[in-house]
Amino acid sequence: MGTTMIRGMLWAVAAALLATAPARAQSPLADAHIHYSHDAWEMLPPAEAIKVLRQAGLKKAFVSSSSDQGTQMLHAQAPDLIVPVLRPYRRRGETGTWFRDASVGDMVADLLAKNTYAGIGEFHLFGKDAELPVPRRIVQLAAKYGIFLHAHSDADAVERIFAQNPEARVLWAHSGFEPPEAVAVMLRKYKHLWSDLAFRSEHASDGKVDPAWRKVFMEFPDRFMLGTDTYVPERWYYVVEQAAWSRRWLADLPREVGENIAYRNAEALANWALKTDASACASGQTMAKDGYRLSYRFEPAAIQVGQPFAMQIAVCAPDDQPFTGEVRVGAAMPAHGHGMNYKPTVQQTAEGRFHAQGLMLHMRGHWQFNFELLTETGIVRLGADHRQK
């Protein structure tokens, strides 16, 4: 079957799914286990992939891809929706070799320096392999950036990760495919362990939660999250179905527990990793005025003259209250009397967190970044000098 024909069929399936999906408001979900690897983006372009995620009613999607380019493309499309997670794979077929590949550590370190991620993973790691130098460096890098590890691992490897760094935060992919009692043992032992339910079906049937799993969900209402695992492109066309299936069994739990598993637990982990709390306003380039604090970071970290870049912006209201307004950003060369030739777009990614795209400095020299905070009481203007080399 030719690529064109497969692409045509997949488009038809996507169109059918989108056409049949309910139009009414859906209860929000977060999917902690999405991959968008090269074969997926060849079949389903980023804009269409985002449509699928939104059609599923997701408010957050943790995306990791082989290579990372897929994640970046989706994040550029929908920074409010996509939670970027860095997979230590360049392409498919590295699940069993990456932990012995000395170049992986540098690749991950370079990308962490360049882009913003909430975690490293999903990676495959079992038993004693967790002691090898490459996984050790990954654990260290996660600690350095304050982000989680998404581990497709057995309990042994998870324990070895926590032995290396007891403060690590681990999202246990597929809950290790362990039975609920064994998952509960691990969750009791490690307070910074979360479990995703991707590619598991046994916890619910016909909209009813299995009694043994219910017991674990009730004991650890803050530690589970959903996942589809789009490990092949075709499974992108299952995301909507999976969401509908999840909504049915989540409704069988007490409302608060169901909503936690549906999206709050994933959102909280993403917010911790992406520093959406007040500490975000104190990292990177920072400034303050009238009690408002703003910090920003470039993507990539070192911007090049004549090359497009983006900006992560965090804003905190006075007394570390949440900032609920909007942000505008621009740049100008005071000595030349001109600004940029492009008008950046700013999207809110979380409370007080923004992502600006469409920036480009077309000359070397002294620039000034200008930020406008649109608050309930007026506009607060902040400026930051920047020397472009």
Partner 1 sequence: MTPAVRLLYAALLAAPCLLPAAASGTGVSFSADERAAVLSHGPWPPELRPDASNRVSGEAGAIALGKRLFAEPRLSSTGTIACATCHISARAFADGRPLGAGLRPLVRNTPTVWNARFNRWYGWAGAVDTLWGASIRPILDASEMAATADHVAGLLAADPGLAGQFETAFGVDPKALQSDEVLAGVGKALAAFQETLVTGRTPFDGFRDALADNDKAAMARYPRAALRGLKIFVGKGRCSLCHLGAGFTNGEFDDAGVSYFTRSGKVDQGRYEGIRLFRQSPYSGHGRHSDDRHGANANLTRHVMSQHRDWGAFKVPSLRNVAKTAPYMHNGSLASLHDVARHYSEIDMERLHTDGASILRPLHLTALEINDLVAFLQSLTSGEAP
* Signed CA dihedral, 362, 77, 83, 60: sign only: positive
Q: Quick one: 76 or 244, whose CB is closer to partner 1?
A: 76
When asked if residue 342 is in the footprint of partner 1 (CB under 8 A), the reply is: yes
Q: What is the DSSP letter of 335?
A: T
341 binds partner 1 (CB under 8 A): yes
Q: Long-range contact list for 331-339, CB < 8 A, 24+ apart?
A: 331/359, 331/361, 331/367, 331/368, 331/369, 331/370, 331/386, 332/367, 332/368, 332/370, 333/363, 333/365, 333/366, 333/367, 333/368, 334/366, 334/368, 335/365, 335/366, 336/363, 336/365
Task: Rule CB under 8 A: choose which of 179, 284, 365, 383 binds partner 1.
Answer: 365
Interface pick for partner 1 out of 91, 189, 191, 336 (rule CB under 8 A): 336
Burial 151-168 (b: 16+ CB within 10 A, else e): bbbbbebbbbbbeebeeb
Segment interacting with partner 1 (CB under 8 A) among 56-64, 257-265, 329-337, 374-382: 329-337
- Residue 282 binds partner 1 (CB under 8 A): no
Q: Which of 357, 368, 370, 375 binds partner 1 (CB under 8 A)?
A: 357
Between 73 and 197, name the residue whose CB sits nearer to partner 1.
Answer: 73
Q: Least distance from C-beta 130 to partner 1, angstroms?
A: 36
- With binding defined as CB under 8 A, does residue 45 bind partner 1? yes
The residue among 211 and 337 lying less far from partner 1, judged by its C-beta, is 337
Please list every residue from 130 through 149 that binds partner 1, using CB under 8 A.
none
Of 101-109, 205-213, 302-310, 372-380, which part binds partner 1 (CB under 8 A)?
302-310
Beta strands in 290-325 (DSSP E): 292-299, 309-316
Q: What are phi and psi of 125, to 5 degrees?
A: -155, 125
Does 177 contact partner 1 by CB under 8 A? no
* CA distances for 350 relative to 231, 322, 353, angstroms: 27, 11, 5
Q: How many Cβ atoms sit within 10 Å of the Cβ of residue 75? A: 25
Is there binding between residue 364 and partner 1 (CB under 8 A)? yes
Q: Is 371 left (phi over 0), alpha (psi -120 to 50) or beta?
A: beta
Q: Which region among 5-13, 284-292, 311-319, 357-365 touches partner 1 (by CB under 8 A)? A: 357-365
3-state secondary structure of 329: strand
Among 205, 362, 374, 381, which residue sits at the site for partner 1 (rule: CB under 8 A)? 362
Contact between 76 and partner 1 by CB under 8 A: the answer reads yes
The site for partner 1 (CB under 8 A) is made up of 4, 45-47, 73, 76-77, 305-306, 308, 335-338, 340-345, 357-360, 362-365, 389
